[in-house]
Structure 1
Amino acid sequence: MRRFFTRTGGLAAMAMLAAMMATPAQAAPAPRACTMSLSAQADSAETDSPSRAATVAPAYFQMTTIERPKPFVIQLTDAAKIEHARKILSGKETERTHIHGRIIKRTAPYNPAYSFYLDPNTIDFFQMAIEVCDATLSYTEDHLDEACGAFLPGCHFCPWTSKLIAEIPAP
């Protein structure tokens, strides 16, 4: 009986994650799947307005996870998210500091040390997230062939120990 509930709970968690990360059919802003802070949700509602979510010249940031492998580079193209990332680096933002997004299983020119990158259109920041999308950079790289199935369902990656470490110039 316990095994049934464990499997059912795992399937329910994956279904919930898939529903939260599904791309809406309309041009409505995407839901904050991993953000648990109500104040952060209120703040992000302001930055999701079409007038503030303007696409700008890409900005590049290095991040890492707890095991400290080679830095992983993310590309941000949304002005509000770039501003948020810079606030994290300056110490002004202390709550929504971890990075999440959808994995693309190929190398990006700006992130050659890894066989995957995060889709810039899906990258956001969170304070707390569900466990099913948590993994380190090295574990994800080593198990990339399993990603987007039972491991990191929906290709959603939200490392709990992710940390921005620097803004870097465009490659």
Structure 2
Amino acid sequence: MRARALVVLAAGLLALTGCAADEPPADDVPAAPAVVTFEVADQGEFSVELRTDELVAHVVELQNGGEEGRIPVGTIVRDGDGGVNAPWSWHIDPETLEFADMTTEVCDGLPSYVEDGTLTSDTYCPWSATVVDLQPLG
């Protein structure tokens, strides 16, 4: 009986330790403004500026396996200045960035589709985007 209790206790401690290891320490989370980079369908990356701590916290939640609001959605600025999204010639207006659970198909696609004009929508919402990096702006 005592051995079983020790096994249960050890498993619980390992579970708690594992959970703590999955979450980045607060010191490693950048404050806004920050830059998030997404991988889309293993066929290209794009980056967006995060202007609020709430957006940064949401991205950290996605990095930790969160599924709610996983699709980035924002207005495409096609002015030849990729900014944080260089080398692309476009970027997402950071004031319009939000995250959704579902979107219409018309704004889904690869970053290269935005670049070459295949994606003609003014909004970009890549369904298969996953967070691959989060860094302070600068």
TM-score under structure 1 normalisation? 0.57
Work out whether residues 99 and 163 of structure 1, in 8 Å CA contact, stay in contact via their aligned partners in 2. Answer: no
Work out whether residues 72 and 113 of structure 1, in 8 Å CA contact, stay in contact via their aligned partners in 2. Answer: no
Aligned: 1:82 with 2:52: no
Structure 2: segments with no counterpart, 5+ residues: 1-30
When the two chains are superposed, the root-mean-square deviation of aligned CA atoms in Å is 1.8
Shift, 1:96, TM fit: 1.2
Deviations 1:121-166 (A, max 9, x none): 11111111111211211111111xx76xxx21xx111111122111
2:131 alignment counterpart: 164
Letter in 1 for 2:69: R
Shift, 1:67, TM fit: 4.3
1:58 alignment counterpart: 33
1:94 alignment counterpart: 67
Structure 1: segments with no counterpart, 5+ residues: 1-55
3-state DSSP of counterpart to 1:121: helix
Q: How many matched pairs?
A: 107
Shift, 1:120, TM fit: 0.4
TM-score under structure 2 normalisation? 0.69
The structure in which a higher percent of residues are helix is 2
Aligned partners of 2:114 and 2:42: how far apart in 1?
A: 12
Deviations 1:59-114 (A, max 9, x none): 11111211422x211101022111111111122x2121111100011323322110
Q: Deviating runs (4+, > 6 A) in structure 1?
A: none
Q: Which has the larger radius of gyration?
A: 2
Q: Percent identity?
A: 27
1:22 alignment counterpart: none
Letter in 2 for 1:80: E
Work out whether residues 33 and 136 of structure 2, in 8 Å CA contact, stay in contact via their aligned partners in 1. Answer: no
